[in-house]
Amino acid sequence: MSKNFTYFRRHFNELAKKHGGQMIVISDGRVFGVCRNERPRELSRLVERARKATPREAPFVSPVPTIKELASPLLL
């Protein structure tokens, strides 16, 4: 398991509360940025920035669910 995914899992609740409904970019075990789902250009810039800063690893990119989505009976 990558350190980026590990970071995402360990901080999942905090990320969902703070950034729910947004996209997150994690590289080198830290958050490089978040942006709204409907902003693909901004997401591309964040991914590129993460790649330049940490060229030896692939950034982890994921949507962050909202607290409401986490409480959905369909996800249980």
**Given the DSSP bridges, would you call strands 30-36 and 22-27 parallel, antiparallel or unpaired?**
antiparallel
pLDDT score of 3: 93
Sheet holding 60-63, edge to edge: 30-36, 22-27, 60-63
With cut-offs at 50, 70 and 90, classify the pLDDT of residue 4: very high
Instruction: Give the Cα separation of 39 and 1 in Å (integer).
Output: 28
Report yes or no: 26 and 53 within 8 Å, Cβ to Cβ: no
Collapsing DSSP states into helix, strand and coil, what is residue 21? coil
pLDDT at 23 over 70: yes
Render pLDDT for 40-75 as a digit per residue (tens, 0 to 9): 999 999 999 999 999 999 999 999 999 888 886 655
Give the per-residue pLDDT at 71: 81
